Structures are given as structure tokens and as C-alpha cells.
Structure 1
Amino acid sequence: MINTENAVVLLVDVQGKLAQKVVGSKELHQKIAQLLRACEHFDVPVIWVEQLPDKLGPTTSALADLMPNNTPIAKQAFSAYVEPQVEQMLSSLNRKQVILCGIETHICVYQTACDLLRAHYHVHLVTDATSSCDASHYQTGIAMMQQHGAWITLVEALLFEWQQAAGGSNFRSFLQLIK
């Protein structure tokens, strides 16, 4: 079970023109935005990476604006985990459940998942918060990660897992997240 005390979200490379070219770009942005709002609601940290931002452009402003107190980590390698700052942040947070989202599913998200799994993290791929420019690449990327041991989830399933019960002092504000 994914719990808020042991989870961290890793947002991978939703930036520049590529973020507009991926399959279902509008829906992808909506789902990632919903996930980022939930992170704030549940106090789940977000690590945010960008692939060569000086060449590919910054993270989509609609998403970056949801993380005003966060700074993206620039990377050159396709895997975010091999970036020393990402590895250090994950280690210092001491959270073993990494919720993975971003683009492209079959390249940067896939390579990040593999490296995290090798480092003994529990990787949970949020399939409706990932995409690729080609639908078959997206589907194959998901299958490749599953073969390596990544768990599959959806934004809504994850949020209800974090909420755990239909009640409590924050339930009304939780309901606003899923609308």
C-alpha cells in the first residue's frame, strides 16, 4: 500500500514543445496537476527534473506554477536517478515509495524506474500521468517497467489510497482534488 509518510513524487521532463506533442497532452497535464495538488494536500514531497532545460525548454508553466517553493533539477542523463542531486534528495527524504510521472514513458521514465528499482525503491508508475509521442511507445514503456517490477497505478486510485477513508477533517478538501 502506498502511504503518504513513505511516498515521494518524481516528476520527469514535462517541458518545452515535447510536452505539447505527447499523446493526450491536455489530459496528461490535468492529471499531473491533480497529482501535484494532492501532494500539497497530503504533504508529499515532489522532486522535479528537467532534461537539458537550456535546449528543450522549461517545465510547462501550468505545472511549474503549482510548485512555487520547488526548484527543478537539470539533468543530462535520461535517468533522473543517476543525477547526484536526485539521489541525494531521495536518500535524505528517507522515503522508499517513488511515485513516477512524466515523459517520455519509454525513455526517461523507463530508465529512471529501472535505476530506482535497482536501488531498492518501490516504484509506482502513474500511467495516466505519463505519456510518449507515440501511443505504442507509451504502452511498451509501461510493459517494460512492469517486467522490471514497477507497480502500476492511476492518479485517482493513488489519491484514494492516500486518503484511506471517507471521512475525517480533510475529506471535504480531498473531494475537491478529485473533481
Structure 2
Amino acid sequence: MRIKASESLLLVIDIQSRMLPAIDNGQEVLAQATWMVDVAQAIGIPVLATEQYPKGLGRTESNLLSRLPEQQVLEKIHFSAVTGQGLLNTPFSTRRQWVVVGTEAHVCVQQTALDLLAAGKEVFIVDEAVGSRKPRDKALALQRLRQNGAEVVSREMVAFEWLEEANTPLFRDVLKRFIIL
């Protein structure tokens, strides 16, 4: 199935200041997730972010947090962003396609994605924009998510599917700002 801009939401899971240094290739995960947020906002895709127990793990990384309206950043204590937080009760919950980035792939990303799938959502995990402390945990999480119906995609797959066609001002703007560097 293709990812449609009109049916999508970008979910940024727990890219937090105190946890990020422990994530394998954490700065790269942050850079890719930030790129996804910027592209989503340029195209008009809603973005939600979560923070796992920010009192202990810190807030969302500051450069990323500065891009997000405060009301679109949700605090949570459960590993799954669906459990207990009312993620599926937000104004964007009617979106059927959830594009997911964040950490940790084998904990909060995986549990959230599994719960979204159980709720009937289509879930797309952006490979280069998710991470775990250990590469093996990330690999196992992506394998398990595939087996359960999530699709593992690249950032450009998402961007080009959101754009859908080439000969538009929006395509030219996104291409210039984010793809041809």
C-alpha cells in the first residue's frame, strides 16, 4: 500500500536528551527524525511527539522540540504511546496511516506500533530514523514489526509518496530544500 499525505500522521517517539547519547548512532537517528519532521511540516502532515517520563529522561532533544507546537508533544509513562495516554483520542487519530520514527526501536517504538496495528492502523517505520542502544535490538524489532504487518521504509520513500507527483510547486520546494543537498 502507498503512503498518502491526506491519510498520514508522523509520530516521533521519545527522542529525548538524556537517552539519546546511549542510542547507537543516536545523532544520525536524531538528524533523520528531524528531517522527517521538517518534510512533514513542509507538506502539511500532522506531527505528534511523545516523551517517556521526561522528569527522568529529559525533554525531547531541544532542536527537535523547537519545531513542534507544545500541544503536539505528549508525556507518557507506558512504553506504548497508545496505552494510557489517549494517543488515539487526539484530533489526528482518524488518520489511518502512521509513519513512526524514534527510540527505542525494540521498546517504545515496537510496542506503540504493535498497538497501532491492533487498532487497525497502517504503520510505516522509517528505518534510518529509529534506533536502539544495541544494533541487534533494532534489527530484531524491525523484523518482528514486519512479521506483524508494519512496513519498514526509508525517509525518501515516505517523502516521495507524500508528494505523489513531480510537477508541482510543493514538489520543487521539497526537492530543493530537503532532497537535493
Q: TM-score range by the shorter chain?
A: over 0.9
Q: String of CA shifts for 1:23-62, please: whole Å, max 9, x gaps.
A: 1112111111111011111111111110000111000011
| Alpha-carbon offset, residue 115 of structure 1 | 0.5
- Alignment correspondent of 2:35: 34
2:13 and 2:46 mapped to 1: Cα distance? 14
Q: Indicate conservation of the 8 Å contact 2:105/2:141, yes or no.
A: yes
| Alpha-carbon offset, residue 17 of structure 1 | 2.0
Which piece of structure 1 moves more, 66-75 or 97-106? 66-75
2:145 and 2:64 mapped to 1: Cα distance? 25
| Alpha-carbon offset, residue 166 of structure 1 | 2.1
| Alpha-carbon offset, residue 118 of structure 1 | 0.6
Unaligned 5+ segments in structure 2 are none
Q: What secondary structure is seen at the aligned counterpart in 1 of 2:152?
A: strand
Trace 1:97-108 onto structure 2 (pairs within 5 A): 97-108=97-108
Q: 1:127 to 1:119 in 2, by over 3 A?
A: same
Q: Indicate conservation of the 8 Å contact 1:47/1:86, yes or no.
A: no
- Alignment correspondent of 2:142: 142
2:131 and 2:61 mapped to 1: Cα distance? 14
Are 2:42 and 1:64 aligned?
no
**Shift >6 Å, 4+ stretches:** none
| Alpha-carbon offset, residue 70 of structure 1 | 4.4
2:69 and 2:120 mapped to 1: Cα distance? 30
Q: String of CA shifts for 1:152-173, please: whole Å, max 9, x gaps.
A: 1111111011112222122221
Letter paired with 2:18: K
1:94 and 1:166 mapped to 2: Cα distance? 28
2:51 and 2:85 mapped to 1: Cα distance? 14
- Alignment correspondent of 2:117: 117
| Alpha-carbon offset, residue 66 of structure 1 | 1.5
| Alpha-carbon offset, residue 93 of structure 1 | 4.1
Q: What secondary structure is seen at the aligned counterpart in 2 of 1:170?
A: helix
Aligned length: 178
Q: TM-score, normalised by structure 2?
A: 0.93
- Alignment correspondent of 2:153: 153
Percent pairwise identity: 28
2:45 and 2:9 mapped to 1: Cα distance? 6
Q: Indicate conservation of the 8 Å contact 2:82/2:112, yes or no.
A: yes
1:126 and 1:110 mapped to 2: Cα distance? 12
| Alpha-carbon offset, residue 20 of structure 1 | 2.0
| Alpha-carbon offset, residue 71 of structure 1 | 3.7
* Cα RMSD, aligned residues only: 1.4
